[in-house]
């Protein structure tokens, strides 16, 4: 089965999806008719392309809009980040309570590539016009031949716990509302990811950590991140927020968690894994004679 019928597509403006106003959020992921997109927007503002799936088994039909294009009458924009947070549920029940994780990854891939397409119109070396390569998924400069691949920016996100069975959560000034989340930050050239974890935690909240362990990762196309998730143990220091990114941080137990990120993010998944009570010890005690 195709990801989308070729008569439908995702229409991206940056990391936002452009959809007809009558389209409910849950229907966004079914795509928008290609004919409707071509009729609603100036052809000069609309670039059609197809994103191959990782396994090359299918393609995702997409349009990329110029970022300064406003939604015309009868259309609206909705953030892919918001859709993920509102529509994704993975409770292990097997019930389609929300957006399936597999579909979310497909939308994230399309969103990531759409932003790369929008940002790679011109060559970063000579300023020439880029076209799609005919032999691989890349952009090639028509003047100097420079090849450009989709950009991926590694970033860490870390769940820190202490010996009191508490978790560290922080409020970043760019978060909406009063959401608290995990410490995160971008990888610097020359580091290993474990070093990035230790550096970011110390820079943002003044703490030292130990026992840094990889847990899982997630594509996060806002605009082009790969979020690499870790756990770590508190090793020392006192919370001292940097005041630049982190406005507040504290230790929380399972009974007093603040507002946390929505479903669909690796931050929520790491917090939920910690929040679940530990599994009881398995096995039977040996009988004594």
CATH topology of domain 153-275: Nucleoside Triphosphate Pyrophosphohydrolase (3.90.79)
For the chain, domain boundaries: 8-118, 120-151, 153-275
Report the alpha-carbon distance of residue 247 to residue 170 in Å, rounded. Answer: 8
Q: What is the dihedral of CA 176, 179, 181, 186, to 10 degrees?
A: 10
Q: Report, as ranges of residue numbers, the positions in the chain whose pLDDT lies below 70.
A: 1-2, 86-101, 277-289
Q: Where are the beta strands (DSSP E) in the chain?
A: 8-13, 16-20, 32-33, 46-52, 59-65, 75-79, 130-132, 139-141, 147-148, 153-161, 167-172, 183-186, 208-220, 225-236, 246-252
Report the alpha-carbon distance of residue 68 to residue 100 in Å, rounded. Answer: 31
Report the alpha-carbon distance of residue 33 to residue 205 in Å, rounded. Answer: 48
Q: 281 CB contacts (<8 Å, ≥6 apart)? A: none
Q: 103 CB contacts (<8 Å, ≥6 apart)? A: 29
Confidence at residue 282, expressed as pLDDT on a 0 to 100 scale? 55
CA nearest to 29, candidates 92, 74, 73, 86: 86
Strand, coil or helix: what is 35?
Answer: helix
Residue 191 has which token pair? 């580091």
Report the alpha-carbon distance of residue 48 to residue 60 in Å, rounded. Answer: 11
Confidence at residue 101, expressed as pLDDT on a 0 to 100 scale? 67
Strand, coil or helix: what is 288?
Answer: coil
For the whole model, what pTM was predicted? 0.86
Confidence at residue 280, expressed as pLDDT on a 0 to 100 scale? 63
User: For strand 8-13 and strand 16-20, is the pairing parallel, antiparallel, or unpaired?
Assistant: antiparallel
Strand, coil or helix: what is 283?
Answer: coil
CA angle 282, 284, 286 (to 5 degrees): 140
Report the alpha-carbon distance of residue 188 to residue 185 in Å, rounded. Answer: 9
Report the alpha-carbon distance of residue 226 to residue 186 in Å, rounded. Answer: 10
Report the alpha-carbon distance of residue 274 to residue 267 in Å, rounded. Answer: 11
Q: What is the pLDDT of residues 190-223, one digit of tens each?
A: 999 999 999 999 999 999 999 999 999 999 999 9
Report the alpha-carbon distance of residue 227 to residue 247 in Å, rounded. Answer: 22
Number of residues that make up the chain: 289
């Amino acid at each position: 089965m195709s990801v989308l019928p070729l008569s439908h597509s995702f229409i991206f403006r940056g990391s936002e999806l452009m959809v007809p106003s009558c389209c409910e959020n849950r229907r966004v992921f079914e795509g928008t008719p290609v004919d409707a997109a071509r009729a609603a927007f100036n052809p000069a503002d609309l670039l059609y392309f197809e994103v191959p799936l990782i396994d090359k088994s299918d393609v995702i039909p997409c349009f990329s809009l110029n970022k300064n294009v406003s939604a015309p009458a009868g259309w609206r924009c909705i953030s892919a980040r918001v859709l993920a947070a509102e529509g994704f549920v993975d409770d292990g029940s097997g019930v389609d309570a929300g957006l399936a994780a597999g579909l979310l990854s497909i939308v994230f891939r399309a969103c990531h590539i759409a932003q790369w397409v929008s940002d790679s119109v011109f060559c970063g070396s000579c300023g020439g016009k880029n076209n799609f390569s005919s032999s691989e998924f890349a952009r090639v400069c028509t003047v100097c031949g420079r090849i450009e691949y989709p950009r991926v920016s590694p970033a860490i996100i870390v769940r820190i716990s202490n010996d009191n069975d508490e978790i560290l959560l922080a409020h970043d000034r760019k978060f909406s509302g009063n959401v608290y989340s995990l410490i995160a930050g971008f990888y610097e050239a020359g580091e290993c990811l474990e070093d990035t974890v230790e550096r970011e935690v110390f820079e943002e909240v003044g703490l030292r950590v130990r026992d840094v362990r990889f847990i899982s990762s997630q594509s996060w196309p806002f605009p082009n991140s790969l979020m690499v998730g870790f756990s770590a143990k508190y090793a020392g220091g006192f919370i001292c927020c940097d005041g630049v990114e982190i406005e507040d941080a504290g230790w929380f137990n399972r009974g007093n968690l603040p507002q946390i990120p929505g479903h669909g993010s690796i931050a929520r998944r790491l917090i939920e894994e910690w929040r679940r009570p530990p599994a009881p010890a398995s096995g039977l005690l040996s009988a004594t004679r």
